[in-house]
Amino acid sequence: MPNVPISAQLSQADRDAVMAAITTIKTKLPFLVDLSTEERKALPKMGDKSRAFVLKAMEVAIQNPDFLPRSFDLSELQKDVQLYESLYPILLALTQLQDWVDDTCLAVGSEAYAAALQVYTYAKASGQGAGLEAAVEELGLRFARKSRKAKVQTVTPTPPGGSI
């Protein structure tokens, strides 16, 4: 992607409208779940191949319900498939939107950081005697390195018998 500067603003009213739209989405999807990492890992995943498999299996089950045990809930399978099919385009659209928001935040943050580095460089260059010493020192804290010295104690093992 070429480095195209982003020059835009997001008004408080527009930000509030976007946040309200997100709230509306959450309200319209009250059944959404929040899985832990362990739960996500434990679940079988449905990709494109699995999706075709599920649709075919459902078709087989609908056409031949006699071989299924009574405990098998065919209507629940149909509801799950229908919900998945309804959510999938939403997932794709939200994923794309999230990617765009992530990329825009990254680009705008990069622009702001690069500009701040220029301010710091200019302030350091002309700060002596211009009353910028304190500001330059404060800005410089961003680049201060912490000491890597770790207190390491050397332990000399005592041989059996107590003397060396």
Question: Residues 12-61: pLDDT tens digits?
Answer: 999 999 999 999 999 999 999 999 999 999 999 998 889 999 999 999 99
Residue 116 in any domain: the answer is yes
Residue 157 in any domain: the answer is no
Q: Which residue has the higher pLDDT, 54 or 4?
A: 54
Distances in Å between the alpha carbon of 70 and those of 55, 82, 83? 21, 22, 23
Question: What is the domain count for the chain?
Answer: 1
Residue 158 in any domain: the answer is no
Residue 82 in any domain: the answer is yes
Residue 22 in any domain: the answer is no
Task: Please provide the average confidence, as pLDDT, over all residues in the chain.
Answer: 88
Position 153 pLDDT exceeds 80 = no
CA atoms within 13 Å, Cβ hemisphere of 76:
3
Q: At what angle do helices 74-126 and 48-63 cross, to 10 degrees?
A: 160
Q: What's the pLDDT at 150? A: 57
Residue 120 in any domain: the answer is yes
**Over residues 135-148, mean pLDDT:** 81
Q: How deeply is 127 buried, as exposed, middle or buried, from its count of CB atoms within 10 A (0-12, 13-18, 19+)?
A: middle
Residue 23 in any domain: the answer is no
Range of the domain at 100: 46-142
Position 81 pLDDT exceeds 80 = yes
